Amino acid sequence: MTDAVLVLNAGSSSLKFAVYPHAEGEPTAILRGKIAGIATCPVFSASDATGQPLPQDARMPLPPDATHADLIPALLDWIQSHRGGVTLTAAGHRVVHGGRRQTGPARVSDALLEELDKLVPLAPLHQPHNLAAIRCVAASAPDLPQIACFDTSFHRTQDRLAQLFALPRALSDAGILRYGFHGLSYDYIASTLPAHLGTRAGGRVIAAHLGNGASMCAMKNRQSVATSMGFTALDGLMMGQRCGALDPGVVLYLMEEKHLSTAEVTHLLYSDSGLLGVSGLSNDMATLEASIAPEAREAIELFCFRAAAELAGLAAAIGGLDALIFTAGIGENSALVRRLICDRLNWMGITLDPNGNIRNARFISTAASAVDVLVIPTDEEGVIARATQDLTRG
């Protein structure tokens, strides 16, 4: 029998999972998958340790109207009975918000869940689903230890100034602060820096997590000093469907003059903006790159203009820049986006090696570049697996 931990990342209509056998070194998944379209038309996909998709007859059966509450126990059963010889010893969850108190992964208890419930209004699109998944696992496997890993924890090393909005003190005291997100991704990137940069790993580094959600994190000594996302995952960079930083006056105008309701503004900012809103075509960078429409090109240009401007601001927070890391779907795969961003940063001494960039090589800057530029694939699930194993061992 192989002891393993289950990693779950639950969204509103999707459930991503991965199974990691206990191991001393780098965690390596023997199974990863996703159930998409939950409660409408669920679709199961999964791949084995080599990345090969599982054949049709090896997949988990899905009732068409199954909810998270039906699917989570079924998934636990399927993994243990159909993936031959796997015993799950713990479940680790991605939880988007840990508030001010959670500075690292934490074992789930009733008290912790109660504390995390209070943060639902701060992350209404993610937190309820993350917590519901924890409760579903607890209901179907009450003895299975569970660990919550927070996207906000990595940023709790920031100074007070980096976390403050210029709002009345009472609001800051009430928790209206810049929390930052994508912390599991930054945690992984920070852990890999010594292998790539040696002693320079502790220098001034900005990691750019550019995926459908996008943010940047400025680090020193591999700790977060400042980040582009704030109170919610709306702030900072332009994203697939989210607007990023926006004059708050626009929101007031939309509500006062255009009579949009709170729900309509929420939908506009979270789901109809970003690459999708500007291009009018798609939230998907690869699709926009393949398009000849001028609106697609304008959306890409704006994405890169905003990213370069945000990066320059974050560099000020750490007094310059020694290394820039690109990660996540766009950061790892789009040579065009990396080039357009770096071209705007030539004045900082950044020069890209076009051949390395086109190949998504690990180092994509020239030898003469004042800043090392790297592409490092992120591994948020691996971070959760490691933390889950560490906190439940013994």
Q: Of 57, 143, 151, 173, which is the active-site residue?
A: 151
CA–CA distances in Å: residue 28 to residues 80, 184, 210, 246, 394: 18, 16, 23, 40, 21
**Residue 286 interacts with ligand AMP (CB under 6 A)?**
yes
Which residue in 103, 157, 172, 212 binds ligand AMP (CB under 6 A)? Answer: 212
Quote the least distance from Cβ 283 to ligand AMP, whole Å.
7
Count CB-CB contacts under 10 A for residue 86.
19
Q: Please choose, from the candidates 124, 197, 188, the residue with its C-alpha nearest in 3D space to the C-alpha of residue 154.
A: 188
- Within residues 192-211, the interface with ligand AMP by CB under 6 A covers 211
Residue 290 sits in the site that holds ligand AMP (CB under 6 A): no
71 annotated to bind ligand? no
For position 285 contacting ligand AMP by CB under 6 A, the verdict is yes
| 9 near ligand AMP (CB under 6 A) | no
Note whether 133 binds ligand AMP by CB under 6 A: no
* Least Å from the CB of residue 209 to ligand AMP: 8
The reply to whether 332 sits in an annotated binding site is: yes
Size of the site for ligand AMP (CB under 6 A): 12
Q: Could you give the CA distance from residue 381 to residue 126 in angstroms, rounded to a whole number? A: 17
Tell me, yes or no, if 151 is annotated catalytic: yes
- Long-range CB contact pairs, 161-164, < 8 A, 24+: 162/225, 162/226, 162/227, 162/317
Backbone angles phi, psi at 89, to 5 degrees: -105, -15
70 sits near ligand AMP (criterion: CB under 6 A) = no
For residues 31 and 96, is the Cβ–Cβ distance under 8 A? no
Q: Does 9 show up as a binding residue in the annotation?
A: yes
- Residues 240, 244, 274, 277: which binds ligand AMP (CB under 6 A)? 240
Instruction: Tell me which long-range contacts 54-60 makes (C-beta under 8 A, separation of at least 24).
Output: 58/82, 60/35
Select from 30-38, 44-52, 280-288, 348-356 the region that touches ligand AMP (CB under 6 A): 280-288
Instruction: Please give the positions annotated as active site.
Output: 151
- Which amino acids are annotated as binding site for ATP, given as ranges? 16, 209-213, 329-333
- Which amino acids are annotated as binding site for Mg(2+), given as ranges? 9, 380
Binding site for ligand AMP (CB under 6 A): 211-212, 240, 284-286, 289, 328-330, 333-334
